[in-house]
Structure 1
Amino acid sequence: MSEQRADEDREGHITETSTLPGGRAAEEPPGGDRDPGSGGGEADSWATVKVVLVPEGHVMTVAFAIGLSIQELKCHLSSELRVPVEVLQISLDGRVVEGKQSLMELGVRPHSSTRLEMSSTDPTTHPLRPLRPPENDSMPDVISVRVQTDDGVFQEVVVEIERPRQQKAFVGGYRHRLTGVEYHHAAIQTLPKRRTDRGVVVFSRDTQTVELKSQAEQCPVNASTQMRGIGCYVSCINDKLVAPGNYITAAEYHDKRLRAVICLQSFARRWLARQVVDQLRKERDRRLAWLEVQKSRGTQEKEEQLRDRQRRWMNPQRKEDLNLMYHALEKWRCEEEQQINSSMRGAERKAALCLLLDQETQFIAAIGRHRIAVQENNYDKTIRKFLDKSAAPHQWRAADGRLIEMDSQHTIRARELQDLYNNVTQPAVSQEQRLHVLMTLKHTVKEHGCRLTRDIVDLIDREVDLMTRGMKTASLEGLRKRISTLFLQYIKTPAFNPEVAKLLKVPQNPSQLKNDVFLCRSCRCYLSSANFSPTARPRLSGQCRDCARLDNISGGRYDLSCYNNMLRRLRDDEQQLSDDAKIPFLLQVEDLQYLVEVVWASRSALQSSSDLYNLVFVRWDQKRDWSPWNCILLSKEETSAHVEVRDVQKTYEAAFIQRIEHKHMLAQRHFSSCPVMAEYLVSRP
C-alpha cells in the first residue's frame, strides 16, 4: 500500500494551485517520471514552484517546467491573479530574478520544489490578492504520494489536486454484478460545460416570481345617478345627447379589413412592378449602350486597319509592308491584264501588254529603291539597338519591388566602345575633333594585336595623312565607312568585348555551330537554324528566309500581314482564357495560312464572309482548349454569339456539325505528322 500525506506550507497557509501552463492535464503528476521515448529532455521536466504573495503571505503552488523562463511564469500568474504582468516582481532569497532566466538556471532540479516571492510594484492600484479565499479550502492542492516501484524501492510522487468549479450531478452508471465495481459515464469524469454569459441574470428570485402591485384609482369626474325631483334641482348644462351609430357586424368588419389589405397589396405590387420595369429598362439601356460601343469599336477597328494599311502602302518600313506593296502591285497587274485581254485584240493588245510590263518594271524598281533605303535605315537602328543592349547594366528586381542595376567591368568596356563608335560615325565634326577621335580609336585597338586591329590602324593612318594634305570630306566618305565597319566588327568580337557573346546569333563554339547547320535547297548554302522559318511540321522548311522572300517577290507575292494579326489575336484570347495554352504558340504564320486557305477556304463558317481582316478563330467547344481540331472560323460580329453557346450539339443543326467535324478531321490529319502536335490530338478540358 502507498502512503499519502498532505504537503502543507511552512508558514501554515493553505496553498492555491492554478491551471498548469502549456496545456498539461491536471491529472499528470508534475514530478512523475516521463517516458524516455517521448522526446523531452531535462528542460522538459517539471518542478513544484511555491509562490508567496507579499505582503499577504498567501502561497500559490504551480507545477512548472524548469526549462521555461521567469517571464512565462509571470504571464501565467498574471492571468490567475488578474493583474498586469508589468507590475509583477519575482525574487529568490531576497534577490530580484530577471525575466529571461529559467528555473533550471536558478538551480531548480527536476521533480523538486522551490520557493519564490512575488510582489507588486504598484500595490495601491494592483494589489496581489488570491481569487479564492483561504477559508473556503478544506484540503491542500498538492500532496505527496509514496509509490512502490520495485521490490523494497519507494518513490515519492507529487500529485496536484484540481477542484471542479461546480458539483456535477450524477446521471447514472453501471455496476459489475460479480465484482460490484461501479462505472460512471464519461460526462461525470470530464470538466462541466460552461454556460455562455448572456449578460442577464437568469437564475435569481426576481426572474422566477411575479411582481404584484396594488394601487387605488379614482375617476377624474364624479359620477352620480341622482335625478330631478321635488325639492331637488339638477343642472343639465353639461349633459350630452348621445345618438347610437350603425352597428357593424363581424362580416362587415372583416370585409373592410380585406378591402384595406387589397388596397395595400395593389399599391405594393404596383411599386414592385415599377421597380422591375425600371430594372429591365436599365438593363435594356445598358445592353443597347454595350451594342453601340461594340459597333463603334468594330467600326474603329476597321478604320484603323484601313489607315494602317494605307500608311504601310505610303511608307513601308518592314518586310511585311514591302510584301503588301508587292501584293497590291500583283493585284493591280492582274486587273489591268484582264481588262486589256477583254477589250483589245491583235497588235493593240500586245502594245498595251508591253506598256503594262514597263509600268510594272518601274513600280518594282521604285519599290526596290525604297527597300534599299529602308534596309539602310533599319541597319543603323539595328546597330544602335545592339550596342545599347551590350552596354546596358545588369538588372533584377529586389524583394521590395525596386529595380536594381549593376555595372560590371564588361558592361563598362561595352559602354566605352559604344561611345567611341558613336564618335567615329558622327559625320559633321571639325578636323581637330576628327583627329582626336581617330587617335583615341587607334590607342584603343592597339591593345590587342591581330590582323583586324592592324587593318584598322592602317586605315586610320591613311585618313590622317589624307586629312593633313587637305583632302575634301566627300572624298573621305568611303574610307571612313570602312573604318566604322571594321571597328563594328571589332566590337562584335567577344575577345575584345566579352559582353556581346550573349547577343551573337552565331555561336562561337565550333561544335555547337556544327550541330546547328542546315542546307538551303534554293541557294545551296549551309546556314544556322535561325535563318529558317520555324513551322509546326517535324522539320524545318527547305528554303531559308532570304530565298523565301525572293521567291515571294518573284512569284506569289503573298501578303501574310492579315494572318499575322489573326494569329496574334488568337494567342491573346487563349492566354486570357487559360494560362496553360500551348498549341496557339506552337503554330506559325504558314500553319495558320494553311488552316484558313485550305481547311476553311478563307470564309466564315456561318455567313461565308471572305474579308480576311474581319475573320477570327475561336473555340468550337468552349470546354476544351483551342486546337486546329477544336476551332471555328467566324467573323468578329459572329464571335460574341458563338462564345455564349454551352452545348454545340443542341444549338447547331446536325448537317452543320458534320461539316465542321469534317474540317476538324482534315486539320487533324495535316498536323498529326508533327510529334509535338501529336501529343495534343485529344484536347483536354
Structure 2
Amino acid sequence: MSEQRGNQEQERKEDEETNTGESILTTDVPEAAEEAEAQADPQDETEPLREPQKTGGVVNSTATDVLETVDGVETQADLPDDAERLGEPQRRDDVGNCTATVKVMLVPGGHVMTVAFAIGLSIQELKRHLASELRVPAEVLQISLDGRVVEEQRTLMELGVRPQGSTRMEMSSNDAAAHPLRPLRLPEQDNMPDVITVRVQTDEGVFQEVVVEIERPPQQKAFLGGYRHQLTGAEYHHAAVQTRPKRRPDRGPVVFSRDTQTADLKSRVQQCPVHVSTQVATIGCHVSCVSDKLVAARGGYVTAAEHHDTRLRAVICLQSFARRWLARQEVDRLRRDRDRRLAWLELQERRWAEEKEEQLKDRRRRWMNPQRREDFNLLYHALEKWRCEEEQRIDSSLRGAERKAALCSLLEQETQFIARIGRHRIAARNDNYEQSVLSFLDKSAAPHQWRAADGRLIEMDNEHTIRARELRDLYSDISRAAVSQEERLHALLAVKHTAKEHACQLTRDVVDLIDREVDLMTRGVKAASLEGLRKRISTLFLQYIKTPAFNPEVAKLLKVPQNPSQLKNDMFLCRGCRRYLLSSDFSPSASTRLSGRCRACTALDNVARSRDDFSHYESILKKLRAGEQRLNGEAKIPFLLQVEDLRYLLEVVWASRSALQASSDLYNLVFVRWERRTDWSPWNCILLSKEETSAHLEVEDVHKVYEATFIRRIEHKHMLARRHFSQIPVMVEYLDPPPSVATGQRPADAPPASAH
C-alpha cells in the first residue's frame, strides 16, 4: 500500500510540473483558498486534490501513509537537488517549473504569508498573486530581500532559490495610508503550519522530500463515507472522496468504418446426430413405399414478378388510404376555417347592428329628453326635415287658395313646435345651471394632482384649495331648501362671518340680505315667501366665490382673464353680433378664420335657417381619431380637423357615399387609410362602409388590386381635398407632393394596376 500511495504522489507531482506558469497560494484565511482554486486552470480536471482533512486535531493526507512532519521549511535550502538525488537530468525550463516555498513578511505588521511558487516566474507575477490575496493594487507593493528592493523582472531562480527550497522576503506598501497591508486572518488564530515537508519512498532504498501544502476549506467538508473513531471521534475519509477521478485514457478519434455498420456473417457446419439414419432403395435392397405420402406446396409457385406486383399493389393501397386521410384532414381544416370565418362575419354583422341600434336608441333618447345644445340641434333638424316634407306634399297636391291655407297652417304648427322646443330648452338650462355651478365649485376646490415616478397619484392641498373647499360647503348649505330653521340660521351666520372678512359693496349687500332674512324668519314669515330673498343671497354669495380677490383658486377657471394686457390681446370681433369676445367664444375650425362668428351667432343661425345636425359627423370623427391613435400614437392631422371640416370632406368631396358600393347610410360609413402604410390625411383616405373596411385594410398594394379607373377616381378626390385643405396654414406643413393624376399617370416607382 505504501508503494501504491508513493506512486500516486509521484503522479501528482508530474501533473503539477506540467502546469507551467501556475502558482498555488495558501494563506491563513478561508477566502484565500477559494480564490486560489478559482485561479487554477479550469481545463485541468485531472489534477489531484491536495486537500487534507482536519478533524479533531488529526491531519489525514491521502498521498501516503509514510509522512513525517518536519518543523519548519527553512531546512529545504540545505536539501540536495532533486535531479542529483533521483539521478534524472533536468533541463533549465523544467527546473523553472519546479516550486519553492516563499515566506513573505508583511511590514510593519510582521504577519507571515507562505506561498508555494514556481522559481521560473518573476517577482512581478508574485506581486500580482499577493495583491489579489490582500485586495490591494499590485503597483503599491514593494518586495525586499535582505534589506534590498528586488526588481520586478528578476525571477526566484536568479535570486538563488533552488527547487523545493525556501526563501524569506519582506513586503511593504508605498501608500500605507490609502492601501495598508492588513492580514486577513489574525496570527493567534493559526494553529497549524501552511506547508509541511514529507519524505516519500519512490523506490527501494530511495526517498524523496516533497513539499505538501495544507489548504483550509471555507466550510466543513461533508462526511461522504469512511470511518469514525468511537473513542476520539476522529474521522478517516476514503481516498476516493478526497481525490478527483482519474484521467480517462485518450482513445483517439471515433472510428466510423465498414466493420461497425456491417453484420458479422459466420458459416457453421451442421451434422446429423449419430442415431439418425436414412435408407434408400438400391440394388439388392428393397424399401417398401406403402406408407409414403405425397406432399405438395400450397398456393403454387410465386415468381419474382408476381411478388413485386403484389408489393406494388399493397403500396398503392397504402398510399391511397394515406392520401385519403390527408385529404380528409385538409377538408376538415378548410371546413374549420370556413366556420370560423362565417362565425367572425356573423359576429361583426351583429356588432355593427348593435352599434347602429345603440346609435338609434341614443338618438331617440335625445329626442325625448334633450339636455345639451346638440340635442336641441337634433330637434331643430327633425323639425326642418318635417317642414320640408310637408311643404313638398302641399305643393304637389294643392293649388291656389287651398295651398295658401295649408301653408299658413303649416307655419302655425311650426311656430308651436318651435315654442315647445324653446320651453324645453329653458327648462334644461335651468336644470343644468345648478350642475354647472357645482362642477365649477368642485374644480376650484380640487387638490393639485400629479403622477409620481412610481406611477402613484399624489394629491396636495394648499391654503387656496382649502379656502375654496370651505366656500363650496357654505354655498351648498345656503342653497339647500328643505332644512330646519335652526340649520338655516347656522348657515346664514357662517356666511355672514365669512363675508365680513372683506369690506366692499358686495359683502355689505350680502350681510344686509342675511340680516333681512333673519329678521323675517324671527317674525314667522313662511319659507315660500322667502324664496326670492334666498335666491338673491345665493347669487350674491356665488359672485363672492367667483371673485379672485376672495377666492384665489377660481382665477384659473374664469373665462375672462384678470390681466388687462392679456384681455386686450385675446379679444376678437364677432361679425354677427358686432361684439368683442374672447377666443374661447369662437368655434375652433381648421377651415375658417378665428375672427368669424361666435358660438352664439352660429347656434342662432342654425336654429333660424339651416337647422343642421352634426351628430353623425361627430361619431365618424371620433371613430377616425380612435383608429389612428391605435395605429400611430403621434398622429396629428385627425385631431386638427373639426366637425365642419369632416362634413365638407364627406359631403363635398365624397358625396356622402362609400367608394365601392355607393352606400349612403351615415351610420355605416367610416374613413380609413387609402395607403395602409401612410398616416391618414384628407389626401390619403377612402370612405367605405364597415363591411368593406376589413377587406380594404388587408390590401398591401392598392395598385395591384384595384383597376386603373377606380384608382384615378380616388386620386381625383384626393386632389380636391388637397386643394381645399392647402389653404389652411396649419395643414401646409403636412402636405406631400401629389401624384400626376392630370394625365392619368402614376409615379414611376408605383407598380402597374391590374384590370380586375
TM-score by length of 1: 0.70
Confirm or deny: 8 A CA contact 1:31 1:46 kept in the other structure. Answer: no
Q: CA deviation at 1:125?
A: 5.2
**Which of 122, 125, 128 is 2:220 aligned to?**
122
Mapped partners of 1:271, 1:17: distance in 2: 76
**In 2 relative to 1, CA 27–551 (structure 1 residues): closer, same or farther, beyond 3 Å?**
farther
Q: CA deviation at 1:10?
A: 5.0
Matched, 1:527 2:581: yes
Matched, 1:565 2:619: yes
Mapped partners of 2:527, 2:373: distance in 1: 34
Mapped partners of 1:525, 1:638: distance in 2: 49
639-648 vs 563-572, which moves further: 639-648
Q: Which amino acid aligns with 1:311?
A: R
**In 2 relative to 1, CA 256–436 (structure 1 residues): closer, same or farther, beyond 3 Å?**
same
**In 2 relative to 1, CA 440–118 (structure 1 residues): closer, same or farther, beyond 3 Å?**
same
Aligned to 2:662: 608
Matched, 1:260 2:300: no
Aligned to 1:30: 125
Deviations 1:80-128 (A, max 9, x none): xxxxxxxxx95253358xxxxxxxxxxxxxxxxxx9995655367599x
Q: CA deviation at 1:244?
A: 4.2
**Which of 265, 277, 281 is 2:331 aligned to?**
277
Q: CA deviation at 1:567?
A: 0.6
SS at match of 1:405: strand
Mapped partners of 1:326, 1:284: distance in 2: 48
Matched, 1:203 2:251: yes
Give the aligned length.
546
Matched, 1:322 2:416: no
245-254 vs 603-612, which moves further: 245-254
Aligned to 1:137: none
Matched, 1:498 2:590: no
Q: CA deviation at 1:277?
A: 0.5
**In 2 relative to 1, CA 538–94 (structure 1 residues): closer, same or farther, beyond 3 Å?**
farther
Aligned to 1:549: 603
SS at match of 1:91: coil
Confirm or deny: 8 A CA contact 1:671 1:677 kept in the other structure. Answer: yes
**In 2 relative to 1, CA 206–542 (structure 1 residues): closer, same or farther, beyond 3 Å?**
closer
Aligned to 1:185: none
Q: How does 1:48-127 map to 2 (within 5 A)?
A: 91-95=185-189, 122=220
Aligned to 1:184: none
Q: Which amino acid aligns with 1:476?
A: L
Mapped partners of 1:229, 1:267: distance in 2: 56
**In 2 relative to 1, CA 613–502 (structure 1 residues): closer, same or farther, beyond 3 Å?**
same
SS at match of 1:30: helix
Q: How does 1:115-264 map to 2 (within 5 A)?
A: 122=220, 203=251, 225-227=276-278, 243-244=296-297, 246-264=300-318
SS at match of 1:626: coil
Q: CA deviation at 1:675?
A: 2.0
Q: How does 1:291-370 map to 2 (within 5 A)?
A: 291-370=345-424
Matched, 1:45 2:93: no
Confirm or deny: 8 A CA contact 1:30 1:46 kept in the other structure. Answer: no
Confirm or deny: 8 A CA contact 1:624 1:683 kept in the other structure. Answer: no
Q: CA deviation at 1:475?
A: 2.2
TM-score by length of 2: 0.64
Aligned to 1:484: 538
Matched, 1:619 2:673: yes
576-585 vs 547-556, which moves further: 576-585
Mapped partners of 2:313, 2:574: distance in 1: 96
**In 2 relative to 1, CA 27–346 (structure 1 residues): closer, same or farther, beyond 3 Å?**
farther
**In 2 relative to 1, CA 266–525 (structure 1 residues): closer, same or farther, beyond 3 Å?**
same
Q: Which amino acid aligns with 1:410?
A: H
Gaps of 5+ in 2: 1-94, 105-112, 129-134, 144-163, 175-182, 191-212, 225-234, 240-246, 739-749, 751-756
Q: CA deviation at 1:44?
A: 5.7
Confirm or deny: 8 A CA contact 2:446 2:465 kept in the other structure. Answer: yes
Confirm or deny: 8 A CA contact 2:102 2:116 kept in the other structure. Answer: no
Matched, 1:582 2:636: yes
Confirm or deny: 8 A CA contact 1:31 1:48 kept in the other structure. Answer: no
Q: CA deviation at 1:561?
A: 0.7
Confirm or deny: 8 A CA contact 1:519 1:527 kept in the other structure. Answer: yes
**In 2 relative to 1, CA 628–124 (structure 1 residues): closer, same or farther, beyond 3 Å?**
closer
**In 2 relative to 1, CA 202–653 (structure 1 residues): closer, same or farther, beyond 3 Å?**
same
Q: CA deviation at 1:221?
A: 9.9
Deviations 1:66-91 (A, max 9, x none): 99xxxxxxxxxxxxxxxxxxxxx952
Aligned to 2:232: none
Q: CA deviation at 1:519?
A: 0.9
Confirm or deny: 8 A CA contact 2:548 2:554 kept in the other structure. Answer: yes
Aligned to 1:380: 434
Q: CA deviation at 1:15?
A: 5.7
Mapped partners of 2:652, 2:732: distance in 1: 20
Mapped partners of 1:444, 1:223: distance in 2: 138
Q: CA deviation at 1:28?
A: 11
Aligned to 2:66: none
Aligned residues: CA RMSD: 4.5
**In 2 relative to 1, CA 208–347 (structure 1 residues): closer, same or farther, beyond 3 Å?**
closer
Q: Which amino acid aligns with 1:91?
A: R
Deviations 1:141-183 (A, max 9, x none): xxxxxxxxxxxxxxxxxxxxxxxxxxxxxxxxxxxxxxxxxxx
Confirm or deny: 8 A CA contact 1:518 1:526 kept in the other structure. Answer: yes
Deviations 1:461-514 (A, max 9, x none): 121122222222222222211211121122222332233233333322222222
Q: Which amino acid aligns with 1:468?
A: T
397-406 vs 600-609, which moves further: 397-406
Matched, 1:509 2:563: yes
Aligned to 2:712: 658
Q: Which amino acid aligns with 2:312?
A: L
Q: CA deviation at 1:659?
A: 2.1
Matched, 1:674 2:734: no
Q: Which amino acid aligns with 2:616?
A: C
Mapped partners of 2:293, 2:218: distance in 1: 83
Q: CA deviation at 1:11?
A: 7.9
**In 2 relative to 1, CA 654–469 (structure 1 residues): closer, same or farther, beyond 3 Å?**
same
**In 2 relative to 1, CA 205–122 (structure 1 residues): closer, same or farther, beyond 3 Å?**
same
Deviations 1:304-344 (A, max 9, x none): 22212111111111111100100111111111122222222
Q: Which amino acid aligns with 2:384?
A: E
Q: CA deviation at 1:606?
A: 2.5
Q: CA deviation at 1:569?
A: 0.8
Q: Which amino acid aligns with 1:549?
A: A
Query: What is the aligned-residue identity percentage?
Result: 63
Mapped partners of 1:478, 1:116: distance in 2: 105
Mapped partners of 2:635, 2:249: distance in 1: 65
**In 2 relative to 1, CA 123–304 (structure 1 residues): closer, same or farther, beyond 3 Å?**
closer
Q: CA deviation at 1:587?
A: 0.1
Aligned to 2:107: none
Q: Which amino acid aligns with 2:125?
A: P
Confirm or deny: 8 A CA contact 1:456 1:486 kept in the other structure. Answer: yes
320-329 vs 293-302, which moves further: 293-302
Q: Which amino acid aligns with 1:93?
A: P
Q: CA deviation at 1:216?
A: 14
Q: CA deviation at 1:396?
A: 3.7
Mapped partners of 1:274, 1:66: distance in 2: 85
Confirm or deny: 8 A CA contact 2:606 2:612 kept in the other structure. Answer: yes
Mapped partners of 1:299, 1:354: distance in 2: 42
Q: CA deviation at 1:520?
A: 0.7
**In 2 relative to 1, CA 120–319 (structure 1 residues): closer, same or farther, beyond 3 Å?**
closer
Confirm or deny: 8 A CA contact 1:44 1:66 kept in the other structure. Answer: no
Mapped partners of 1:406, 1:614: distance in 2: 47
Mapped partners of 1:410, 1:520: distance in 2: 36
Confirm or deny: 8 A CA contact 1:518 1:527 kept in the other structure. Answer: yes
